């Protein structure tokens, strides 16, 4: 089935910030750790927080201990003071945009203005705003409710940050018509506006819309309402298990959006389920091609091919294209290491890519045996063809096995804070060693290896970080030590820009093959695509990322052989 994903959906800035605060507090704040009410309106995310011993607290006890986190919606100031007096260490996770609305409500109420809040009177954010507005606060949710308001002369209009833009405009116009002179602030969050605008765009492209999110989430329900108003059939689901597959199967193209409290891994599950749904409109060859590509990714065959071609290209640049056992050795090693690591990391994989997790669990004994066999083949080939580098190969094999073991991963989880990005750096070092160092040491090659080492390292590093960005939310919940988890997505993108710039410098001043500048351009285009389509595990994103080392290697080999034949001619 053809699935169109909304470019703006899932965690908004405020929710992402609140979740990150809770994750940090789970490991650093004085225990026990609570959230004042549910942190966000998503049952799946709340269940995972409970596995980290972060529990919601419904009321305010007379005496409390530990840490309590104020959720993104905010709370009345009186309740915040009561939490402090009870003895809690209070961490304010209120969304900065909600804080701005709270400040406006407090300022104008102190100046004697009536504060008209357009929103749902039962919503947590609105209750918090009323706390700041005091006895000057009034709430309306429709134009019809304006009749119930007292005569207004000095008043200000504010909005719940997740309010529907069109409805808010109608209410404001009617208020100003009846009571001229009111001050108006459009306090609807830009993320909310963008998501609503994106739903309307999806409705023009798709026959049906799937909205993913908690059924108690106001902004999720509003997205569904907008899609219905646009005349599309709407399916509001909390998880992929709620999808009515038989009813969806009749559609040619389905749009997917999600509420601001919906984690990426839940969106991933929905997208993958819909993509795998047979459609009478999709050609059979296309469906089989997608399945083949998915198998290559899930089994790590694409990864093995990538390091094979990259190593072959380095051999060509060193003048050793006939030494085919080096690419085979690199491919066997990386296949074994990545497969073993995946098998030992099923917990985070269930969140980030549930279908891959099911594949690995189904064939776990076979893949485990194949992984160990790959290690043995690597060691045999190293002893036979690369004895000078055999010690390095043994060292890397032992390190990757130890790194994958559960007890080591748990022990290192806290230390990784002092060395963020250890996983992507380790992958890049392993790729660099097998694609460059092992053949260089074994052949006692006179050419300096440093340029090719830097080239291979940067290609592998960029690839690894791209894939980590897709898995950042699931990795964060299980405490995985990836670069995006520790430094955030924004800084990770900045690091990638630096890495791509360094790659361009290595190509121009090191390898001196200007035609290879298409590689950093390819990376920049891929980075831009990641920014736009960060949501969900996309076959396109994963395929283009795995194609990075393959495309690079093919380009180098092709260039070298064209040059060789031209000189011979």
Using alpha carbons, select from 373, 416, 423, 415 the residue that is nearest to residue 397: 373
Q: Is residue 197 within a helix (H) or strand (E), and if so which, with residue range?
A: helix 190-205
SS3 for 206? coil
Based on the residue annotation, tell me whether 125 is a catalytic residue of this protein. Answer: yes
Confirm if 195 and 219 have CB atoms less than 8 A apart.
yes
Within 10 angstroms of residue 532's Cβ, the number of other Cβ atoms is 10
Using a 10 angstrom Cβ sphere, with 0-12 exposed, 13-18 middle and 19 or more buried, the burial of residue 399 is: middle
Residue 303's nearest CA partner among 106, 169, 444, 435 is: 435
* 143 burial via Cβ count (<10 Å: 0-12, 13-18, 19+): middle
Question: Which pairing describes strands 114-118 and 67-70: parallel, antiparallel, or unpaired?
Answer: unpaired
Nearest to 497 by CA among 471, 469, 520, 472: 520
Edge-first strand listing for the sheet containing 233-237: 2-5, 253-258, 208-212, 233-237
Cis, peptide link before residue 32, omega less than 30° from 0: yes
79, 81, 122, 125: the catalytic one is 125
Cβ(79)–Cβ(58) under 8 Å? Answer: no
487 in helix, strand or coil? helix
Beta partners for residue 285, in sequence order: none
Q: Do strands 2-5 and 253-258 pair parallel, antiparallel, or not at all (unpaired)? A: parallel
Q: 203 to each of 166, 211, 275, 537, how far by Cα in Å?
A: 16, 12, 19, 22
Place of tokens 């800035």: 13
Q: Which residues are catalytic?
A: 125
């Amino acid at each position: 089935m053809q699935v169109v994903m909304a470019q703006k959906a899932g965690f908004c800035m405020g929710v992402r910030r609140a979740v990150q605060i809770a994750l940090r507090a789970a490991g650093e704040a004085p225990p026990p750790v609570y959230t004042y009410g549910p942190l966000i309106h998503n049952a799946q995310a709340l269940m995972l927080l409970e596995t980290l011993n972060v529990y919601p607290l419904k009321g305010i006890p007379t005496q409390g201990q530990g840490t309590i986190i104020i959720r993104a919606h905010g709370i009345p100031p009186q309740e915040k003071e009561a939490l402090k007096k009870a003895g809690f260490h209070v961490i304010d996770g209120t969304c900065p945009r909600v804080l701005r609305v709270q400040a406006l409500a407090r300022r104008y109420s102190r100046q004697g203005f009536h504060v008209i809040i357009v929103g749902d009177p039962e919503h947590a954010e609105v209750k918090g705003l009323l706390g700041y507005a005091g006895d000057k606060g009034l709430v309306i949710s429709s134009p019809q409710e304006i009749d119930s308001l007292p005569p207004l002369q000095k008043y200000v209009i504010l909005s719940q940050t997740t309010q529907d833009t069109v409805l808010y405009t109608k209410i404001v116009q009617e208020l100003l018509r009846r009571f001229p002179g009111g001050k108006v602030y459009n306090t609807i969050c830009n993320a909310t506006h963008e998501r609503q605008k994106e739903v309307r765009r999806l409705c023009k492209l798709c026959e049906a819309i799937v909205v993913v999110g908690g059924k108690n989430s106001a902004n999720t329900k509003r997205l569904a309402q907008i899609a219905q108003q646009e005349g599309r059939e709407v399916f509001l689901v909390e998880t992929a298990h709620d999808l009515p597959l038989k009813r969806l199967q009749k559609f040619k193209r389905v749009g997917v959006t999600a509420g601001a409290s919906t984690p990426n891994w839940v969106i991933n599950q929905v997208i993958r389920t819909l993509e795998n749904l047979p459609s009478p409109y999709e050609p059979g060859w296309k469906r089989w091609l997608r399945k083949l590509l998915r198998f290559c990714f899930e089994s790590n065959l694409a990864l093995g091919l990538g390091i094979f071609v990259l190593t072959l290209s380095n051999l060509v640049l060193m003048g050793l294209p006939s030494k085919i056992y080096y690419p085979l050795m690199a491919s066997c090693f990386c296949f074994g290491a990545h497969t073993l690591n995946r098998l030992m990391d099923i917990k985070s994989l269930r969140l980030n890519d549930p279908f891959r997790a099911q594949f690995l669990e189904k064939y776990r004994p076979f893949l485990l045996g194949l992984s160990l066999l790959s290690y043995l083949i690597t060691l045999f080939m190293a002893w036979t063809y690369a004895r000078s580098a055999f010690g390095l190969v043994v060292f890397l094999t032992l390190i990757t096995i130890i790194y994958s073991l559960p007890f080591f991963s748990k022990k290192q989880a806290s230390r990784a804070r002092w060395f963020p990005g250890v996983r992507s750096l380790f992958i890049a070092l392993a790729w660099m060693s097998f694609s460059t160092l092992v053949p260089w040491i074994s052949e006692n090659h006179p050419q300096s290896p440093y340029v090719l080492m830097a080239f291979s390292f940067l290609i592998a590093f960029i690839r690894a970080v791209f894939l980590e960005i897709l898995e950042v939310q699931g990795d964060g919940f299980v405490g995985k030590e990836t670069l995006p988890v520790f430094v955030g997505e924004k800084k990770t993108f900045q690091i990638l820009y630096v890495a791509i710039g360094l790659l361009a410098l290595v190509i121009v001043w090191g390898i001196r093959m200007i035609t290879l500048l298409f590689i950093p351009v390819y990376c920049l285009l891929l980075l831009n695509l990641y920014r736009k389509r960060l949501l969900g595990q996309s076959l396109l994103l994963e395929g283009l990322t795995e194609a990075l080392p393959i495309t690079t290697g093919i380009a180098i080999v092709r260039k070298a052989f064209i040059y060789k034949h031209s000189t011979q001619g």
